[in-house]
């Protein structure tokens, strides 16, 4: 998340430093309809892909950090200079973590927030009253150091279920963490790395666009690699903007974008106890307050929010534990978007489809099977399936195709950690949607056999 979102400051610290790995990552999204060209800039030890649209109406940046081997911070703090309009969506898992319960309780009455503290390593889930009191104490300590009301501070955690926050170490780290917050790019990058656990890469995106005649920014960071399955929001994420939006509009915008992005990804079918997304809108860009979802400004901001959240969601699926490629499922011809989304999610979540992709097996039968059990009525004689540009099924009947070419398509995607595209059409309706997942490899079993969650 680029900290050039006005009024947002970030920092990281270590309460018990963890080992990190060396990596370098560049994720190129699908071409935007307005994109004219792209280029790669080298900013020292970090690489940045900048996508420039026609008429410069939107700039999209995918930031990539190169982390040297060594110790890794496990605390991140995001602060805002003003009371920011806040929206939050959380896991549907009944065994919700203490910080999830705390944030949900706060947001029942609070419409703004000023700070978000995130720790990695201990999920603080299934920890009872003691775990909840830990959250309260951490929020109070942050609020005292920042001279804020306790309810202006939100807490997120990720890590091992059943482990409470290492409270003493965390509290001892807070003074240095608070003193180091800054609006720098380095602060934003460091915070994105600090919240990771089994992730191989950090995930952060920022865009700049003109909304209501004013240039504003939307940025976000996320973590997630395993225990990822659609059911809100399947990871941790913080999204910020300097737009000015009413609470009602902002919360509905965030809900819509989450449904189109984070709720459309699946790595392993498990919904975490800690899934959370918090979105802050500072209002410092100077744009007129957005109070109607039907206004031109609202539609423009919604498009920006969709871009950021979709990019973060895809990066989580791309970084799925043990994955060798991103799986993108595009469904069209459904009666409406919701039906298309359900079919796409079902295919992207299918273990058999994911295993076939890893085995470089163009098994259209598994795809057709998943479409059929998605719970959506359609005429099987209108089912069409293609793998990339290779047509596998037409009007519900298998087509002759070059299996070697189809297998090579899957192999090339796996060898380059690229994207496998599955296109499905189920009729002639206007419903279109996408979902994302990854292949299912031997390494997924190895990682989760050796790592306690």
- Cα(165)–Cα(144) distance, rounded to whole angstroms? 19
Beta bridge partners of 38: 51
- Cα(380)–Cα(44) distance, rounded to whole angstroms? 54
Binding residues for substrate: 197, 223, 234, 321, 448, 453
Contacts of 452 by beta carbon, 8 Å cutoff, 6+ apart: 160
Beta bridge partners of 444: none
Binding residues: 197, 223, 234, 321, 448, 453
- Cα(260)–Cα(163) distance, rounded to whole angstroms? 32
Do residues 440 and 342 make contact, with C-beta atoms less than 8 angstroms apart? Answer: no
Contacts of 405 by beta carbon, 8 Å cutoff, 6+ apart: 390
Please classify residue 108 by burial: count the beta carbons closer than 10 Å to its beta carbon, then call 0-12 exposed, 13-18 middle and 19+ buried. Answer: exposed
CB atoms within 10 A of CB 348: 27
Per-domain residue ranges for the chain? 71-319, 326-450
Strand ranges for 123-253 from DSSP E: 153-160, 203-211, 214-223, 236-241
Token pair for residue 132? 């909840």
Q: How many residues in the chain?
A: 453
Fold entry, domain 71-319: 3.60.70
Do residues 29 and 93 make contact, with C-beta atoms less than 8 angstroms apart? Answer: no
Q: In the annotation, is 271 catalytic?
A: no
Closest CA to 449 of 92, 198, 85, 162: 198
Fold entry, domain 326-450: Ubiquitin-like (UB roll) (3.10.20)
Helix (H) / strand (E) element for 422: namely strand 419-425
Each residue's pLDDT expressed in tens, for the chain with a length of 453 residues = 444 466 677 777 655 433 332 222 333 333 332 222 222 223 333 333 333 333 333 333 333 333 334 466 889 999 999 999 999 999 888 899 999 999 999 999 999 999 999 999 899 999 999 999 999 999 999 999 999 999 999 999 998 899 999 999 999 999 999 999 988 888 888 888 888 877 777 888 889 999 999 999 999 999 876 555 544 334 789 999 999 999 999 999 999 999 999 999 886 555 678 889 999 999 999 889 999 999 999 999 999 999 999 999 898 888 888 899 999 999 999 999 999 999 999 999 999 999 999 999 999 999 999 999 999 999 999 999 999 999 999 999 999 999 999 999 999 999 999 999 999 999 999 999 999 999 999 988 887 787 665
Q: What is the pTM of this model?
A: 0.83
Q: Which of 198, 234, 346, 419 is catalytic?
A: 234
């Amino acid at each position: 998340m680029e900290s050039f979102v006005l009024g947002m400051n970030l920092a990281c610290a270590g309460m018990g430093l963890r080992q990190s790995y060396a990596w370098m990552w560049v994720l190129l999204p699908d071409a935007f309809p307005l994109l004219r060209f792209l280029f790669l800039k080298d900013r020292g030890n970090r690489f940045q892909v900048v996508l420039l649209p026609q008429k410069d109406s939107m700039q999209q940046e995918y930031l990539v950090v190169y982390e040297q081997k060594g110790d890794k911070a496990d605390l991140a703090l995001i602060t805002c200079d003003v009371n920011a309009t806040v929206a939050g969506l959380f896991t549907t898992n009944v065994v919700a973590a203490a910080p999830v319960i705390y944030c949900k309780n706060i947001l029942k009455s609070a419409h703004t927030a000023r700070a978000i503290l995130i720790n990695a390593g201990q999920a603080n889930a299934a920890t009872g009253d003691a775990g909840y009191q830990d959250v309260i104490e951490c929020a109070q300590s942050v609020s005292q150091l920042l001279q804020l009301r306790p309810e202006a501070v939100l807490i997120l955690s990720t890590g091992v279920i059943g482990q409470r926050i290492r409270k003493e170490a965390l509290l001892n780290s807070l003074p240095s963490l608070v003193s180091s917050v800054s609006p720098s790019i380095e602060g934003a990058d460091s915070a994105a790395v600090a919240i990771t656990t089994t992730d191989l890469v950090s995930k952060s995106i920022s865009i700049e666009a003109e909304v209501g005649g004013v240039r504003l920014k939307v940025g976000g960071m996320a973590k997630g690699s395993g225990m990822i399955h659609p059911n809100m929001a399947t990871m941790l994420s913080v999204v910020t903007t300097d737009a000015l939006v009413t609470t009602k509009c902002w919360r509905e915008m965030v809900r819509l974008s989450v449904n189109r992005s984070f709720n459309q990804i699946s790595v392993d079918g498990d919904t975490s106890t800690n899934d959370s997304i918090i979105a802050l809108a500072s209002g410092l860009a100077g744009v007129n307050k957005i109070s109607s979802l039907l206004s031109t400004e609202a539609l423009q901001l919604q498009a920006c929010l969709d871009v950021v959240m979709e990019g973060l969601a895809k990066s989580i699926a791309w970084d799925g534990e043990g994955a060798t490629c991103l799986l993108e499922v595009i469904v069209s011809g459904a009666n409406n978007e919701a039906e298309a989304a359900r079919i796409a999610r079902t295919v992207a979540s299918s273990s058999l489809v994911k295993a076939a992709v890893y085995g470089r097996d163009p098994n259209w039968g598994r795809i057709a099977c998943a479409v059929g059990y998605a719970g959506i009525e359609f005429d099987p004689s209108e089912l069409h399936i293609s793998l990339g540009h290779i047509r596998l099924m037409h009007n519900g009947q298998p087509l002759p195709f070059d299996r070697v070419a189809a297998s090579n398509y899957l192999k090339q995607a796996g060898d380059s950690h690229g994207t496998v595209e599955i296109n499905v059409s189920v009729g002639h309706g206007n419903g279109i949607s996408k979902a994302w997942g990854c292949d299912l490899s031997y390494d997924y079993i190895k990682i989760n056999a050796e790592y306690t969650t």
